[in-house]
């Protein structure tokens, strides 16, 4: 997963890489590398990276110093600066800062290809990942999920295993426990959790696109995976697990659930599912769609079906008519009845949003009754 900077230095010093400052931080851990040339790019760091800088976008030593400060503030593990046409030498202010912060600063001459150094680091990290005690790592992450209040215990445990606690993480719950056998994107990893009766996994380092590709590949095997919200710290991992469990339990409310479900893609469904107090959603439903369902039952009408077709077809009377087989005037009359019963207007966006949400809640209620 990650490896100490001093071990990485042992590997790359043959490229004429030299330690210039920050010797006190050589026991830091790095899990990946990133090229950063501007303050904006530095904000993309997730923590525990080795940062490479050529200086192509810095105009003077002041800008370089601000960039290095930002890189440090975003929890990078170490810094490699390419000395050459853009940065001829390292200012004393940078050296003093790195020493004060125990932030390892390495320099490498311009004629050395940075890509070769990065490749060497990548290989070392991959070897480190393979050597990590997966069983112990699984236990530590399981503790983070099931006992989030034991923060000091599992954080120290994870750090001792070289696992960066400030990573992009998600919990996935799947129909099968062979999720870890699928191809894993470069720089990412999957760890099985020890949770009885659930095939739960921690996904490490996955971006949104990689998550979608991963779910798609899993669906090709005829199996479903539900991914909880992304978190940026292991201390919030239990929240992602809660989301994933909820999605898996209610997966059948999603028309395309067999393609896999990612919490950030669920929109209003995910929002409704996240309301833990069911009396709120039940009351909301009774005071909206519940009223219409009772009216339909008493009058042997189908205002709800006409309304749903109307809302789900971009509020088009024509399309709702084609969808339901009802005459356009019938659709229009039933929409007016809905407005009358609920004291609202379809010209009001919030009213339409309220009704759409009620249909989402109804789907969740039906699914809970059937499960």
Look at residue 371 in the predicted model and tell me its pLDDT.
55
pLDDT-derived band at 224, boundaries 50, 70, 90: confident
Task: Please tell me the least confidently modeled range out of 19-28, 320-329, 356-365.
Answer: 356-365
CA 334 from centre of chain:
42
CA–CA dist 274, 270 (Å, integer)? 6
Same domain, 158 and 264: yes
Q: What is the pLDDT of residues 126-176, one digit of tens each?
A: 766 655 457 788 899 999 999 999 999 998 888 887 787 777 899 999 887
Give yes or no for residue 119 having a pLDDT over 90: no
Q: Where are the alpha helices (DSSP H) in the chain?
A: 5-12, 39-42, 61-73, 92-100, 114-131, 134-146, 151-160, 208-219, 237-249, 268-273, 278-286, 289-299, 303-312, 317-324, 328-342, 349-370
Domain stop point among 82, 111, 130: 130
Structural domain total, the chain: 3
pLDDT-derived band at 182, boundaries 50, 70, 90: low
Question: Strand 261-262 relative to strand 189-192: parallel, antiparallel, unpaired?
Answer: unpaired
Domain stop point among 232, 253, 273: 273
Same domain, 30 and 72: yes
CATH of the domain at 308: 1.10.10.2840
DSSP per-residue string spanning 206-253? --HHHHHHHHHHHHTTT--EEE---BSSGGGHHHHHHHHHHHHHTGGG
Same domain, 20 and 144: no
CB 144 within 8 A of CB 238: yes
Look at residue 133 in the predicted model and tell me its pLDDT.
54
CATH of the domain at 8: 3.40.1390.20
Same domain, 110 and 188: no
pLDDT-derived band at 370, boundaries 50, 70, 90: low
Same domain, 137 and 269: yes
Same domain, 32 and 94: yes
Domain limits at 341? 278-370
Look at residue 39 in the predicted model and tell me its pLDDT.
92
HSE value, Cβ hemisphere, 13 Å, CA-based, for 368? 11
CA–CA dist 274, 25 (Å, integer)? 41
Same domain, 52 and 107: yes
Same domain, 143 and 124: no
As a whole number, mean pLDDT of residues 122-126 equals 79
Q: What is the pLDDT of residues 28-65, one digit of tens each?
A: 888 888 999 999 999 989 888 999 999 998 889 999 99
pLDDT-derived band at 206, boundaries 50, 70, 90: confident
Look at residue 85 in the predicted model and tell me its pLDDT.
93
Q: What is the pLDDT of residues 249-302, one digit of tens each?
A: 888 888 787 888 898 888 887 777 777 777 888 888 888 999 999 999 999 888
Same domain, 121 and 148: no
As a whole number, mean pLDDT of residues 202-208 equals 86
Average pLDDT, the chain: 87
Domain stop point among 130, 154, 178: 130
HSE value, Cβ hemisphere, 13 Å, CA-based, for 60? 1
Q: Which two tokens stand for residue 204?
A: 């490490």
Instruction: Between 169 and 198, name the one with better pLDDT.
Output: 169
Give yes or no for residue 180 having a pLDDT over 60: no
Same domain, 306 and 334: yes
Same domain, 165 and 182: yes
Same domain, 53 and 177: no
Look at residue 129 in the predicted model and tell me its pLDDT.
63
CA–CA dist 169, 293 (Å, integer)? 42
As a whole number, mean pLDDT of residues 222-236 equals 89
pLDDT-derived band at 71, boundaries 50, 70, 90: very high
Give yes or no for residue 178 having a pLDDT over 80: no
pLDDT-derived band at 179, boundaries 50, 70, 90: low
User: Per-residue b/e over 342-362, b at no fewer than 16 CB within 10 Å?
Assistant: bebebeeeebbebbebbbbbb
Give yes or no for residue 109 having a pLDDT over 60: yes
């Amino acid at each position: 997963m990650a490896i100490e900077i001093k071990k990485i230095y042992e590997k790359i010093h043959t490229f004429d890489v030299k330690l210039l400052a920050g010797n006190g931080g050589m026991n830091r851990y790095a899990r990946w590398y990133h090229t950063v040339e501007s303050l904006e790019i530095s904000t993309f760091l997730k923590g525990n990276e080795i940062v490479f800088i050529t200086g192509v976008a810095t105009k003077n030593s002041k800008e370089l110093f601000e960039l290095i400060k930002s890189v440090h503030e975003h929890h990078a593990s170490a810094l490699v600066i390419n000395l050459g046409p853009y940065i001829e030498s390292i200012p004393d202010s940078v050296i003093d800062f790195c020493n004060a912060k125990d932030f390892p600063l390495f320099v490498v001459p311009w004629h050395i290809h940075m890509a070769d150094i990065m490749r060497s680091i990548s290989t070392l990290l991959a070897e480190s990942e393979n050597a990590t005690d997966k069983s112990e790592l699984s236990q530590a992450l399981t503790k983070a999920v099931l006992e989030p209040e034991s923060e000091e215990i599992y954080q120290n445990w994870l750090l001792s295993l070289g696992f960066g606690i400030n990573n992009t993480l998600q919990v996935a719950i799947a129909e099968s426990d062979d999720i870890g056998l699928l191809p894993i994107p470069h720089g990412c990893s999957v760890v099985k959790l020890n949770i009885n009766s659930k095939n739960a996994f921690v996904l490490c380092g996955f971006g949104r696109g990689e998550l979608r590709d991963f779910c798609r590949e899993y669906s090709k095997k005829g199996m479903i995976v539900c991914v909880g919200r992304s978190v940026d710290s292991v201390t919030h991992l239990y929240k992602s697990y809660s989301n994933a469990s909820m999605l898996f339990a209610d997966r059948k409310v999603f028309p395309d659930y067999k393609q896999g479900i990612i919490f950030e893609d669920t929109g209003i469904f995910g929002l409704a599912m996240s309301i833990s107090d069911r009396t709120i959603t039940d009351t909301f439903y009774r005071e909206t769609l519940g009223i219409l369902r009772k009216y339909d039952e008493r009058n042997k009408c189908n205002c709800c079906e006409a309304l749903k077709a109307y809302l789900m077809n971009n509020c088009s009377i024509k399309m709702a008519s084609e969808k339901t087989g009802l005459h356009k005037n019938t659709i229009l009359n039933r929409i007016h009845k809905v407005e009358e019963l609920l004291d609202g207007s379809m010209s009001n966006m919030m009213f339409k949003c309220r009704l759409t949400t009620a249909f989402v809640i109804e789907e969740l209620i039906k699914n809970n009754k059937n499960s």
